[in-house]
Every structure is written in C-alpha cells, then in structure tokens.
Amino acid sequence: MNTEEALALLSALAHPTRLEAFRLLIRHEPGGLSTGELVEASGLSQSTFSTHLAVMVKAGLVIAEKRGRQQIQRANLDSLRGVMVFLAKDCCQGRTELYEPLLAELTCI
C-alpha cells in the first residue's frame, strides 16, 4: 500500500453515497450484491451510481465479478485492512508510542 493507493482508497470512501454502498456491501459479505441492487439502495440514477462504483472499483475498494448478465459487487476487505494499516503504520512512521495506544483502542472494540 503506497501513498497513491491509500489516497485513492480514502477518496473512494470519502463520499456519502460510496461509503454507504461500501457498508452495504460489507453487510452482504460474502455473497455481494448486483449493481442494480446497489443502484436501488442508493436512490440515485443508474448512470450516476455507476460512476461512483467505477471510483470504488478503480481504487480497489470493491471487486466486480460477472455473473450471467449481472455484475456482482463485493467489498474488498483487504483494501480496508490496507488503508488502516497505512494510517496506523505508514502515517505514524515508526512512532510506535503514537499508534500503539491507537491499536489498543481498536482491539478493545
């Protein structure tokens, strides 16, 4: 996970529509949802949501897979893990005294 990839992931997450879609996809792991179901849930037009989806797929946040004539979308939990590791480690460059309390908090969820 380099800076560029992390920025793409952060940008992909930093929009209400996309964040909500991602959360919806997480709730539907590991089965995923079709693009049409996501469009319906978003309340936006099909074309508008398609561009949001393209942003997420390009960033690696979502993985698309063809199934029949539908496109099944799945949350990429590896990318979520990646961006969190980036924030904790790469961002806090070696300052363990800074991110260790952060991890402690996370493990106590």
- Helix or strand holding residue 26 (H, E): helix 16-27
From residue 93, alpha-carbon distances to 3, 86, 88, 96, 103 in Å are: 13, 10, 8, 8, 14
Q: How many residues line the site for DNA (CB under 7 A)?
A: 24
Binding segment for a second copy (CB under 8 A), chosen from 21-29, 33-41, 43-51, 63-71, is: 21-29
Residue 105 touches a second copy, criterion: CB under 8 A: yes
Considering beta carbons, is residue 7 or 54 the nearer one to a second copy? 7
From the list 11, 39, 44, 61, which residue makes contact with a second copy (rule: CB under 8 A)?
Answer: 11
Residue 15 touches DNA, criterion: CB under 7 A: yes
Least separation in angstroms between CB 68 and DNA? 4
CA distance 88 to 21: 24
Q: State the binding partner of 23 from DNA, a second copy, none, CB within 5 to 8 A by kind.
A: a second copy
Compute the Cα dihedral for 27, 30, 34, 35 and give only its sign. positive
From residue 19, alpha-carbon distances to 26, 30, 31, 48 in Å are: 11, 18, 19, 15
Binding site for DNA (CB under 7 A): 11, 15, 17, 34-36, 39, 44-48, 50-55, 64, 66, 68-71
